[in-house]
Amino acid sequence: MLVAHVSDTHLGAAQFGLKEREDDCYEAFNEVIDVSIREGVSIIVHSGDIFDDPRPTGTSLAKFAESLQKLRDKGIPFLFTLGEHDISRVSATPSALLFEKLGLAQYIGRGEPKMVKGINFVGFHKHRKTEAAELVKKLNQLQTPRNERSVLVLHQALFEAHKYAGEISVNDLPRNFSYYAMGHLHDRFEKKFDMLGGLLCYPGSTDPTGVEGVESFEKGFYIVDFSSEEVSANWVKLESTRPQLSVEVKYEALEEEIKSIIASIPKEKKKPVVRLGISGSSIDPAVVSSKIRALAERCLYCDWQPMEKVEGAKVISRPADMEEEVMRIAKELLKNEDLAYFAVKELLPLLEQGKTDEANDMLWETFERRRFDFRR
Ligand SMILES: [Mn+2]
């Protein structure tokens, strides 16, 4: 009995606003579906962030529907929970629930166990950091099944998997599940914790979205085998992933460096996304443009940034990803990665929306739980 576990498909995301990058997301999801069917998977479970936006476009909805129809025709149930990208901050019906109504998918984020093909699935939708205590309470109340195959589905970051993004801890999870199908973290993570009954896995996102920046990625999903007592998971790498690389090059040696980058581009893959950080003095943009032309022609997207030094913090003068850049500067100025993450990723989004009460609560909670040690 095989179950595919996928997460963070972010359908509709378009890195750099490019149509090709939006199509990459659909293609990645399609590959997951096709490989699952080919490998004889019986159930597919999605751990949230199906869509990139709580108000997905017609194209994303249609692409998702097509994949679900393919599964329905093969008799493969699709189970899902919701991530923060699927849930609008204003209370409204999440778009993904439409597919439950149409009978194409089963929502398992309500904390109610659902038996599907002999496996007991139970999940919760995303709980934000301020709702973490509430989620932990619900997790404690879960009747954890013994002597049966069971899967817990969550869209939360564990401290043990990500020091900075963590919302709950492994100790908060019920013990007896045979598999923990996690979502939210975009990098793959897999571990058998002693205190948990079965394996815990984050498959990561199926295609890099804007927040991940430009890097070399391996993206994929899990095929989990429930046929023996000990559940095992096999990570499947996606072949359709577009190569991305971020390289620091020297202005003086630009020509040779460009040549070696071109030589390293895999021919059998999609055209890559390339970001160059150019170091050196008196960088002439016109010279750079002409020297990188040959490379740009072989790329879907190619940009460059001079690496400059400004007032203590090293600032890239033309950041293509503002979020990434703000985070980098915060780290450099606060001299503490935990604090920078807290300020930029947790506090700032609330303040941007004028949610001062929530921001205040968060500060108190942080203080009371002694999350940061300021005596250092
Ligand atoms: Mn996500």
Q: Look at residue 217 in the predicted model and tell me its pLDDT.
A: 82
Average pLDDT over residues 153-176: 93
Q: Look at residue 88 in the predicted model and tell me its pLDDT.
A: 80
- Is residue 315 scored above 70 in pLDDT? no
Q: Look at residue 376 in the predicted model and tell me its pLDDT.
A: 42
pLDDT confidence band for 375 (50 / 70 / 90) = low
- Is residue 256 scored above 90 in pLDDT? yes
Give the least confident one: 145-159, 237-251, 341-355: 341-355
Put residue 264 in one of left, alpha, beta given phi > 0 → left and psi -120 to 50 → alpha: alpha
Tokens 């940061």 appear where? 372
CA of 195 to the centre of ligand 1 (A): 26
pLDDT confidence band for 282 (50 / 70 / 90) = confident
- Is residue 82 scored above 60 in pLDDT? yes
Q: Look at residue 234 in the predicted model and tell me its pLDDT.
A: 97
Closest CA to 76 of 84, 89, 67: 67
Give the least confident one: 244-258, 268-282, 352-366: 352-366
- Is residue 321 scored above 90 in pLDDT? no
CA of 47 to the centre of ligand 1 (A): 9
Average pLDDT along the chain:
90
Could you tell me what percent of the chain has a pLDDT over 70? 94
CA of 161 to the centre of ligand 1 (A): 15
Q: Look at residue 341 in the predicted model and tell me its pLDDT.
A: 85
CA of 70 to the centre of ligand 1 (A): 24
pLDDT confidence band for 273 (50 / 70 / 90) = very high
Put residue 146 in one of left, alpha, beta given phi > 0 → left and psi -120 to 50 → alpha: beta
- Is residue 185 scored above 80 in pLDDT? yes
Q: Look at residue 342 in the predicted model and tell me its pLDDT.
A: 87
CA of 9 to the centre of ligand 1 (A): 7
Cα separations in angstroms, 44 against 81, 218, 239, 297, 370: 12, 21, 19, 39, 40
Give the least confident one: 136-140, 208-212, 304-308, 358-362: 208-212
CA of 229 to the centre of ligand 1 (A): 31
Question: Taking the C-alpha atoms of 304, 307, 311 and 312 in order, what is their torsion angle to the nearest 10 degrees?
Answer: 120
Q: Which residues are catalytic?
A: 85
Rounded to 5°, the CA angle 169-172-177 comes to: 110
CA of 185 to the centre of ligand 1 (A): 6
Those residues whose beta carbon sits under 5 angstroms from the ion ligand 1 are 8, 49
- Is residue 91 scored above 80 in pLDDT? no
What does the DSSP 8-state code read for residue 240?
Answer: -
Average pLDDT over residues 200-211: 91
- Is residue 165 scored above 90 in pLDDT? no
Average pLDDT over residues 250-257: 93
